Amino acid sequence: MNRSLKEATVKTFTYATTKQLIGHLRDFLMAYNVAKRLKALRGKTPWQFIQQEWKNKPQNFTIDRSLIHRGTNI
């Protein structure tokens, strides 16, 4: 993933500001998560995989508040 990010951003484009880089990273990650089919996810996109897991195992997406350390924001 790090290589994919680097090749799609700093190795390909020049940014005048950090804000431009951050915006491009955000856009790239959104496109990647909804379009890139991955072998490790059995041909699903990351978004499709999360939707499937949410449907099949919703308990994995709950937060046990007792495990949150004081001062941590979630």
Q: Which residues are CB-contacts of 22 (< 8 A; sequence separation ≥ 6)?
A: none
Q: How far apart are CA 51 and CA 34, in angstroms?
A: 11
pLDDT at 69 over 80: no
Domain map of the chain by residue range?
A: 1-36, 38-74
For residue range 25-60, list pLDDT tens digits in order: 999 999 999 999 999 999 999 999 999 999 999 999
Q: Report CA 36 to chain centroid distance, whole Å.
A: 11
Instruction: Compute the residue count for the chain.
Output: 74
Residue 16's pLDDT is: 96
Cα dist from 48 to 28, 63, 68, whole Å: 17, 21, 28
Asked if residue 67 has pLDDT above 90, the reply is: no
Which pTM value belongs to this model? 0.66
Determine the Cα–Cα distance for residues 72 and 41; give it in Å rounded to an integer.
31
pLDDT computed for residue 74 by the predictor: 56
